[in-house]
Structure 1
């Protein structure tokens, strides 16, 4: 398992993506899956940067664990900001037009759709959100 501790700022998104992508490339992750993971990582990290410590800022930890059987990756985001479970919010109604839909929630919805599993916990003052994705194209 590899870990990156970084200030939860939107301008730190690229170092986070570089860190995650390095682990995925070492695991020979297919490009299509890496793109899906990058989309979810971007959404989660930007949400932490924008909302977890609002209006201040604070630390975020990103852990990447490559699992051999079946080939998969767990990416865990940890912050000690405001308790928030992004998975508890109802999915947006994608049958409505963009004008009719409420603002927000689409990024988490896309992350949920592209990941194989997502899990949220609040433990000892920490938001812990784990993304799981298989590394084999089906």
Structure 2
């Protein structure tokens, strides 16, 4: 499993996506799967960049593993920001009009729908969120 550590800042998003895409391309990942994983990775990383350390600065580590038979992609995020499990929040009611809907939660809902599995744990002072997608 390859890993990078970047500043938990929006400026690092392109680096994170290039890293994950590089791992998926190297493993021969189908384009449709890459697109789905990229969308989920972007949502998760943007949330880390905006909220994990705010107003302070910090780092995030991203791990990626792709390949196997059957094909599978695993992307893990770790940060030392405030403990926060986005999976604990109830999914937003998308049947409501935008004016009546509570703010927030759409990004994690999208990631849940795109991925086959998402898990969260707080361990050793770190938020650890893992995405899994089978091909």
Q: 1:34 and 1:71 mapped to 2: Cα distance?
A: 12
Q: 1:63 and 1:79 mapped to 2: Cα distance?
A: 12
Partner of 2:73: 73
Partner of 2:90: 90
Query: How far off its partner does 1:70 sit?
Result: 2.2
Q: 1:40 and 1:62 mapped to 2: Cα distance?
A: 13
Segments of 4+ in structure 1 off by > 4 A?
none
Partner of 1:122: 122
Q: 1:89 and 1:28 mapped to 2: Cα distance?
A: 35
Q: Alignment partner of 1:95: what SS? A: coil
Query: How far off its partner does 1:67 sit?
Result: 4.4
Q: 1:27 and 1:129 mapped to 2: Cα distance?
A: 22
5+ long unaligned stretches in structure 2: none
Number of residue pairs matched?
A: 135
Partner of 1:40: 40
- Over aligned residues, Cα RMSD in angstroms? 0.9
Q: 1:118 and 1:91 mapped to 2: Cα distance?
A: 14
Q: Alignment partner of 1:76: what SS? A: strand
